[in-house]
Structure 1
């Protein structure tokens, strides 16, 4: 019984150690998440503006801008993930 507990504890500690990030990597990831979250909020605001306008052309422009902003937020997160993978 003790061997099973010891093996389970060792496996748990190894998985925690493998997932730890350096402070720099954590800072990059946190900054990217905050930036991407703000970009997504801006995209939501653009979508809301598109819903509130009566001009069809303006609606299309705002919806396209919102889509582009969401794509850019995804790119920020992807770039941060790539950067943190190279830091660990």
Structure 2
């Protein structure tokens, strides 16, 4: 690999404003703001709108589709006999 072509990776805090949660990880993201972390060190902070702490898929709050309504609509449109043939 060629040297000096990759950006420098360093510890960065990603803060999810929706869930009020912060994660310390390594990243190449740039930020002018800083935050004092739990270990007493100061790290750059990047605010994000959504993360695994607030995303509906990861939190289990995702919406369930109304499949019963779809079945009823299919039966109204094609009749009950079409649903029984399969």
Same fold (TM over 0.5): no
Greater RCO (Cα-Cα under 8 Å, separation 6 or more): 1
**Scaled by the length of structure 2, what TM-score is found?**
0.30
* Bigger Rg, which one: 2
Structure 1 or 2: more strand by fraction: 2
| TM-score scaled by length of structure 1 | 0.29
